[in-house]
């Protein structure tokens, strides 16, 4: 007696193929999800760091325009899609006299400049990422 040949797949073969397919899809989706999360974090870090030069320029401008009596400055706000907060305080201050003018004329007539060294603490936040920076800046005024 001749046996009839089967055409198609058995139920067990279909179940094994389905398990392999879904396992492959799960692995690929986990890899994609991890890459997507890493890409989002990197993008947020880049956006925070990209705003740093503009914020530093803004801080420098405020320090340069501060009056000679001020020894503390601070600001907080939102700009360019990030939250920022900074505080600056004078670490060292010195009056410098133009020695050439002092020798030639008199010390009272000579140019005097007050030079200040500022220590700046800057915090930038965006989408749960927080970066802290410590900066130094020099300013001078006529004394």
Question: For residue range 48-81, what is the model confidence (pLDDT) as tens digits?
Answer: 888 888 888 999 999 888 888 888 999 999 988 8
Tell me the C-alpha distance between 134 and 126, whole Å.
18
Strands of 72-79's sheet in order across:
72-79, 82-97, 112-126, 129-142
Confidence of residue 95 (pLDDT cuts 50, 70, 90): confident
Beta pairing partners, 132? 123
Report the pLDDT value the prediction gives residue 99, as an integer from 0 to 100: 64
Among 69-73, 108-112, 128-132, name the one with the lowest average pLDDT. Answer: 108-112
Q: What is the DSSP letter of 4?
A: P
27 pLDDT exceeds 90?
yes
pTM: 0.65
Mean pLDDT of the chain: 85
Tell me the C-alpha distance between 141 and 143, whole Å.
6
Residues 6+ apart with CB under 8 A from 107: 97
**The pair of three-digit structure tokens given for residue 69, joined into one six-digit string:** 């009596």
129 pLDDT exceeds 90?
no
């Amino acid at each position: 007696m001749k046996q009839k040949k089967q055409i198609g797949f058995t139920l067990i073969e279909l179940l094994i193929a389905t398990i392999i397919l879904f396992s492959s899809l799960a692995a690929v989706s986990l890899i994609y999800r991890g890459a997507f999360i890493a890409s989002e974090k990197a993008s947020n870090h880049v956006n925070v760091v990209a705003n740093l030069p503009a914020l530093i320029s803004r801080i420098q401008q405020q320090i340069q325009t501060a009056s000679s009596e001020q020894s503390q400055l601070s600001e907080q706000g939102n700009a360019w899609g990030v939250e920022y907060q900074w505080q600056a305080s004078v670490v060292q201050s010195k009056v410098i006299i133009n020695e050439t003018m002092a020798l030639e004329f008199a010390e009272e007539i000579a140019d005097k400049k007050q030079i200040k060294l500022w220590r700046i603490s800057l915090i930038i936040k965006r989408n749960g990422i927080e970066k802290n920076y410590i900066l130094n800046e020099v300013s001078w005024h006529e004394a």
